[in-house]
Structure 1
Amino acid sequence: MQRLKTETRPHHERTEAQVRLMDADLTPTAYRRHLEALHGFYVPLEARLAGLGLEAIAGLSIHTRWKVPLLKEDLRALGHDDASLERLPRCGALPSLAGVPEALGCLYVQEGATLGGQLILRHLRRHFDGVPSLGDFSFFRAYGADVGPRWRAFGDAVNQASASAAGDTFDARVVKGAQDTFDAFAVWLRQEQAHASVSA
């Protein structure tokens, strides 16, 4: 986990720079557009992750970590229905994720976003206090009071998988999966933000 943090830092910072949810002038429309962009990335990404055998990783409990249902809940609160959700753009340039190590790296990005999302959640609740029809911020609320324990459990699962593999190749592949996920996510967010600016 420490290697992941160190070797993905530049990729993390580039991606974080694309997230504008902490802006003082954030509007409900901009918040909705960001959730739509997240939906467009998470839907195909989680579908790919679901086929990579992560359920075999001890302590990971992968099926309790999917975020797409939370995004759909938020977007329905913002006016979407099943038909309009299906029409939202989907990212076609996902990280390759050749196997379990890369998938764990990808999950490092997603679970780290859930942990960091607690800061965003506090900002959203203050910023939109009194604004009706924004829902309960389900995506950023995610695991609720269990965010810390779930993050530690994820770290333990990754470290255990690394120890069981007993080789640097496994770890390098985990790091590469995380780096590629950060980079693909940053590109997708830039693309969607540019599209939103043209449409505005």
Structure 2
Amino acid sequence: MQRLKTETRPHHERTEAAVRLMEPDLTPGGYRRHLEALHGFYVPLEAELSAWLEGAVPALRAHERWKVPLLEEDLRALGHDTASLARLPRCQQLPQLPGLPEALGCFYVLEGSTLGGQLILRHLRRRFADVPVGPFAFFSAYGEEVGPMWRAFGQALTQAAAEASSSDFDARVVKGAQDTFEAFGAWLARETANASPHA
């Protein structure tokens, strides 16, 4: 986990720069567009991850960690229905996940976002205190269990690495995380390039 944190730091920082939710004049429309972009990344990526993680690492409890239902709860509160959700753009340039190590590295990025999401959640609740924009389900993922869920993830990942027969397992996990940060940042930048969050 420490190696992941260290070796993905620059990738993490570049991706954070593409997240535009902390701005003081964020509008409901800007918030909705960001959720739409997240949805476009998470839908295809979680589908791919489930093929690798469901059952492969039981200690991950991956089925409890999927975020698409939470994003769709938030987007429905902002006016979407099943048909309009299906029409939202989907990311075509996903990180390459040729094996379980890369999938675990990818999942590290998604799970880590629940930690940074706590800061975003506090900002959103202040910003939209008097505006009905929905339950913030995505950024409220795990509720009071954010810390325990993150620690459980770290323990499961560390155990999987310890049990791996491949000598390059750790390096492949790191590469999966780096590639996920890069793909995520590129997708967010693209999706927000022509849409100001203030509009």
TM-score (norm 2): 0.96
Q: Deviations over 1:76-123 (max 9, x none)?
A: 000000000011000000001111110110011000001110111011
The structure whose residues are more often helix, as a share, is 1
Q: Is residue 54–residue 63 contact of structure 2 (8 Å, CA) maintained in 1?
A: no
In the alignment, what sits opposite 2:59? 59
Q: Is residue 55–residue 63 contact of structure 1 (8 Å, CA) maintained in 2?
A: no
Q: Is residue 18–residue 188 contact of structure 2 (8 Å, CA) maintained in 1?
A: yes
- Superposition map of 1:11-50 within 5 A: 11-50=11-50
SS at match of 1:158: helix
**Does residue 69 of the first structure (1) align with residue 94 of the second (2)?**
no
Q: Is residue 40–residue 90 contact of structure 2 (8 Å, CA) maintained in 1?
A: yes
Q: Return the alpha-carbon distance in structure 1 between the equivalents of residues 54 and 181 of structure 2.
A: 19
> What is the Cα deviation at residue 11 of structure 1?
0.2
The residue type equivalent to 1:155 in the other structure is G
Between Structure 1 and Structure 2, how many residues are aligned?
197
SS at match of 2:60: coil
Q: Deviations over 1:47-68 (max 9, x none)?
A: 1111114422141001000000
In the alignment, what sits opposite 2:168? 169
Q: Is residue 106–residue 178 contact of structure 1 (8 Å, CA) maintained in 2?
A: yes
Q: Is residue 115–residue 147 contact of structure 1 (8 Å, CA) maintained in 2?
A: yes
The residue type equivalent to 1:36 in the other structure is E
SS at match of 1:52: helix
**Does residue 138 of the first structure (1) align with residue 137 of the second (2)?**
yes
The residue type equivalent to 2:105 in the other structure is G
In the alignment, what sits opposite 1:178? 177
Q: Is residue 44–residue 91 contact of structure 1 (8 Å, CA) maintained in 2?
A: yes
Identity percentage of aligned residues: 72
Change (3 A) 1:53 1:108: closer
> What is the Cα deviation at residue 35 of structure 1?
0.1
Q: Is residue 102–residue 173 contact of structure 1 (8 Å, CA) maintained in 2?
A: yes
**CA RMSD, Structure 1 to Structure 2 (Å):** 1.1
Q: Which moved more, 1:78-87 or 1:163-172?
A: 163-172
Q: Is residue 53–residue 103 contact of structure 2 (8 Å, CA) maintained in 1?
A: no
> What is the Cα deviation at residue 195 of structure 1?
3.2
Gap runs ≥5 in structure 1:
none
> What is the Cα deviation at residue 180 of structure 1?
0.3
